[in-house]
């Protein structure tokens, strides 16, 4: 067994694809419309789906926003130099929600940014 993907619902698919590809450096792996169901699926990630986990962006055509809810935590991404990555994210016009630094009660260096729909993305240095 292996983890295939994590699905999140997004209000504006093109805006979300731009964030995950341009800002976070993922690739758009595939995108397909389902007219009968009135939704579109787009898969983004750092590698091919045959051997890496990816994110499925689900856009329901008649829904512009979603409540994040209290059960979802975040998506985590490993980075080599968290300070450089955060500078690049700021340059791309996005705000860093938690500046880089050691995690509370630990030694890992982390930061947080929100995607366009408000989902938390944790950046972890050296993972």
Q: Domain with 85 in it: what CATH number? A: 3.10.180.10
pLDDT in tens, the chain (127 residues): 788 999 999 999 999 999 999 999 999 999 999 999 999 999 999 999 999 999 999 999 999 999 888 888 999 999 999 999 999 999 999 999 999 999 988 889 999 999 999 999 999 998 7
**Domain identity same for 89 and 55:** no
State how far the Cα of 59 lies from the Cα of 97, in Å rounded to an integer.
25
Q: How far is CA 78 from each of CA 5, 108, 123, rounded to the nearest angstrom?
A: 16, 11, 6
Say if 65 falls within a structural domain.
no
- Catalytic residue, chosen from 36, 62, 122, 125, is 122
Say if 81 falls within a structural domain.
yes
Residue from 73, 79, 72 nearest 109 by CA:
79
- The residue segments making up the domain with residue 10 are 5-60
Q: How does DSSP classify residue 47?
A: S
> For this structure, is 49 an active site residue?
no
Q: Return the structure tokens found at 105.
A: 């009660």
Beta carbons of 43 and 29 less than 8 angstroms apart: yes
Say if 19 falls within a structural domain.
yes
Residue from 66, 98, 4 nearest 89 by CA:
98
Q: Taking the model in full, what pTM does it have?
A: 0.88
């Amino acid at each position: 067994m292996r983890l295939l993907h994590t699905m999140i619902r997004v209000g504006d698919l093109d805006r979300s694809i731009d964030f995950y590809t341009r800002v976070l450096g993922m690739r758009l792996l595939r995108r397909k419309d389902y007219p009968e169901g009135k939704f579109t699926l787009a898969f983004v990630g750092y590698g091919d789906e045959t051997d890496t986990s990816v994110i499925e962006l689900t856009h329901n055509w008649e829904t512009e926003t979603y409540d994040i809810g209290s059960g979802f935590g975040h998506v985590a991404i490993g980075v080599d130099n968290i300070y450089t990555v955060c500078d690049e994210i700021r340059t791309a016009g996005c705000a860093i929600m938690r500046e880089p630094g050691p995690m509370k009660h630990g030694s890992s260096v982390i930061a947080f940014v929100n995607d366009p729909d408000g989902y938390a993305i944790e950046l972890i240095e050296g993972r």
